[in-house]
Amino acid sequence: MTTKSPDEIKSAVRATYTQVAQGASCCGPSCGAPMDTGAVSIGRIGYAPERVGAIPAAVLESNAGCGNPLAHARPKAGETVLDLGSGGGLDCFLAAQEVGPQGRVIGLDMTDAMLQKAEENRRKLGLAQVEFRKGEMEAMPVESGAVDIIISNCVINLSPDKAAVFRESFRVLRPGGRFVVSDVVKTGEGGEGSMEEWCACIAGALTPEDYLGGLRAAGFEEAEIVERKPYIAQGHESNIIRAVKPR
């Protein structure tokens, strides 16, 4: 496990995803850790081509997800969705189609280059119900109880303080609200070490047991893994994790 401080981790993560917004597909000066990014991985991680057909190429190029949380979250018309670490905005734009003009989608991210790219594409798509907000998921700039569904795609593993992310997720959801995220989890040996591996979504991954335990400790019920897929890093999987805030 890396010995860097939380601030050092966050600044390395920000630097990495600034480069991903500019087209990079691996992490570190010597490309120490490959990442499964870009338009080529879209089908493999679970998006049907007809669902992403209307999404601008620039958004697909910045894709750095590891699954399709919306396939399980199934937002309804009029709901409010919060996407933690929204990146280029793909899941926000797809969620906007589901919640419709009466619904609301908030994309939260801490990296300016990603926020700028997402906002440019939001304007091109004319989606008034989508808003991108700058902030950190450990201290979300979001009102308590304001959100119906939290989604996230390959982001929570990057946090140096997962307990804070789970606590904040619980706070911003309304009673009965759903938490449905895609994330990398650790299921075997490998990828414990470098900062490059942390930024490539490997070294910070929790085991499935610790993920579910962390959600329960924050107050969530019905915490479960609903989908498991292989991930490019040895000893890791991409999982969809779901939990509910009690009514």
Does position 183 interact with ligand SAM (CB under 6 A)? The reply is: no
Binder of ligand SAM out of 81, 154, 195, 244 (CB under 6 A): 154
Please report how close the Cβ of residue 206 comes to ligand SAM at its closest, in angstroms. 15
First to last CA, the chain: 37
Output the smallest distance, CB 8 to ligand SAM, in A: 13
- 114 is a site residue for ligand SAM (CB under 6 A): yes
- Give me 67's structure tokens: 């699954």
CB-nearer residue toward ligand SAM: 54 or 176: 54
How far apart, in whole angstroms, are the C-alpha atoms of residue 233 and residue 82? 28
Q: Select from 12, 90, 125, 233 the one that contacts ligand SAM (CB under 6 A).
A: 90
Interacting stretch for ligand SAM, rule CB under 6 A, among 57-65, 119-127, 188-196, 202-210? 57-65
Helix (H) or strand (E) holding 90, with range, is helix 90-99
Task: Name the token pair of 179.
Answer: 């938490």
SS3 95: helix
Backbone angles phi, psi at 97, to 5 degrees: -65, -35
- Only one of the segments 85-93, 125-133, 169-177, 227-235 lies at the binding site for ligand SAM (rule: CB under 6 A); that segment is 85-93
Q: Which of residues 218-247 bind ligand SAM (CB under 6 A)?
A: none
Of the candidate spans 154-162, 189-197, 216-224, 233-241, the one that interacts with ligand SAM by CB under 6 A turns out to be 154-162
Helix and strand totals (H; E) in the chain: 9, 9
Dihedral sign of CA atoms 1, 63, 115, 16 in order: positive
Q: Any contact of residue 121 with ligand SAM (CB under 6 A)?
A: no
Select the span of 49-57, 74-82, 103-111, 236-244 touching ligand SAM (CB under 6 A).
103-111
Strand duo 147-153 + 130-134: pairing = unpaired
Task: Give me the torsion for CA of 47, 225, 85, 67, rounded to 10°.
Answer: -20
Could you tell me how many residues of this chain bind ligand SAM (CB under 6 A)?
Answer: 24
Give the whole-angstrom CA distance, residue 76 versus residue 30. Answer: 44
Residues lying near ligand SAM in the complex (CB under 6 A) are found at 13, 17, 63-65, 85-88, 90, 108-111, 114, 136-138, 153-155, 158-159, 201
